[in-house]
Amino acid sequence: MLVGALLLSSLLTAPAVAHAASPGSGGWYWPVGTENFKGWDGWWAYRSQNPPRWHMAQDMPAPVGHAVYAVGDGTVLESGGDHHYGGVIVVLHRTADGHYFKAVYGHVIPAASAHKGAKVKAGQVVGHVNGCRHVHFGIHPGKAYPLDNNPYRGHTYTSKNTYGWVDPVKYLRANPRVIPYSAPALPQVTAVETTERPSVIGVAARVVYWTIGTEEARHTFSRSLDGSETVLVAPDEDIPSLDSTRFPAQAEAGSFTLRDRLPVLTLTASTTAPSWKHPVSLSGRLTNASGRPFKGATITLESSRDGAEWRRATTAKTGLAGAYTLTWTPTTRVRLRVRFLAPTLYLPVTSVTTTVAPKPALTAPSVPRTVTHGQKFGVHGTLAPRHAAGPGAVTIRVQRLVAGVWTDDSLLPATCRDSTAGSTYAATLRLPAGSWRMRAQAAADAAHAAGSSSWSLVAAR
């Protein structure tokens, strides 16, 4: 027992070793370095103790002192304590598709580097197996704690309530940590039967053209990509420049097919007018023309002030369904787009452009809560980013409570001033008796969207 105690004591202070294990299914580093659990209890194993209970985790056997690895990059939410495990760690991880989940590593002695709030890397040693000789490994999807607020739960006493916990082995195998790049097959967009092998094939403005025959008797035909009726092109009709790069053709003796090399890349912004210093969420999908997804593809976000010069902002990877998500915090009006440069086979593609402009940050007007009717008083606040000094940049919207309804009364120009401390706005006014409220607002300009502050109440008596 003394030797075992000394061993555990040394493990508590041993430095964490990164990537001592090799990744397994989905690129995850399994907690004890293997996916062979040797028949130990897994998800929903029934334990007929009093009272009966169901196991909501996977037990992974390992000898005392065996290293316990972080399955992926993450943040330690809880570490230490007993909680019926003798020692436990809870880590927030994220899948390649961007789904967060909490993993509980039970029956472990936490490593010093795996303290609460610590960042851990995939394969990092976060602890060692304690005297229970196995790791209890459970998964709860999402960032939020379970409904019962118990991040350590490993069993349920009712077969109808999992508290949001899921089968950890199935979850990791269905939600990889790393998605290798893979492109779908080039989709066929049309197939055309001909009387003989065509000599020229191409597409222009989504119309297919092909030529058959000899120099003495050559005929050109056309039809739309959606498969409308074939038309004989008049000999004197000009044929537009054909795009055989995007639409490669495969010709046979009496037919040909066309495929499409251009991917489809969509872009949607969560808002085009975020609050000052708040990020915009940008999302979309990358598929081929028939809707098949690109997996593990690199999507690059680019920004431009004028639409002429584009700069790389950040990147993201597509998930199993071809979806991606990016965040960007604009400081001024900016145009955003995403691009995909295919390693092989497919052509590069650029999404539509969206314009995003942040709202200026305006504090609510600072005013007295009560004034004497007709009394002159000041209204002031701050704004960010800096605006040019002078009247007109900010107005004060004044409303009066009339028969229980807030009704517009006036728009009062404020004076803005810049200083080393920042930008301020100020105005003065008089109010007749009644209940009043006011807020600061700024019109849209070349750099920002329109914005306004919250309301401030004033009672004039």
User: Residue 202 in contact with residue 194, Cβ under 8 Å?
Assistant: no
d(CA 444, CA 52): 64
Specify the pLDDT at position 114. 97
Average the pLDDT over 153-173 and give the result: 93
Q: Is 9 helix (H, G, I), strand (E, B) or coil?
A: helix
Structural domain spans, the chain: 2-174, 188-259, 264-356, 361-460
Specify the pLDDT at position 20. 65
Amino acid at 318: T
What confidence tier does 15 reach under pLDDT thresholds 50, 70, 90?
very low
Percent of the chain with pLDDT over 70: 95
The CATH number of 361-460 is 2.60.40.10
Instruction: Among 9-23, 39-53, 109-123, name the one with the lowest average pLDDT.
Output: 9-23
Average the pLDDT over 18-22 and give the result: 67
Specify the pLDDT at position 6. 42
- Helices then strands, counting H and E runs in the chain, come out as 2, 37
Do 264-356 and 361-460 share a fold? Answer: yes
d(CA 302, CA 299): 10
Residue 11 host element (H or E)? helix 2-13
How far from chain centre, in Å, is Cα 455?
33
d(CA 93, CA 168): 13
Average the pLDDT over 131-153 and give the result: 94
User: Residue 303 in contact with residue 310, Cβ under 8 Å?
Assistant: yes
Instruction: Among 100-114, 213-227, 315-329, name the one with the lowest average pLDDT.
Output: 213-227
Phi, psi for 198 (deg, rounded to 5): -70, 150
Specify the pLDDT at position 422. 79
Kindly report the average pLDDT of the chain as a whole number.
Answer: 91
- Give the fold, CATH level 3, of 2-174: Glucose Permease (Domain IIA) (2.70.70)
Q: Which residue has the tokens 């598709």?
A: 97
* Architecture label for domain 264-356: Sandwich (2.60)
**Higher-confidence residue: 191 or 350?**
350
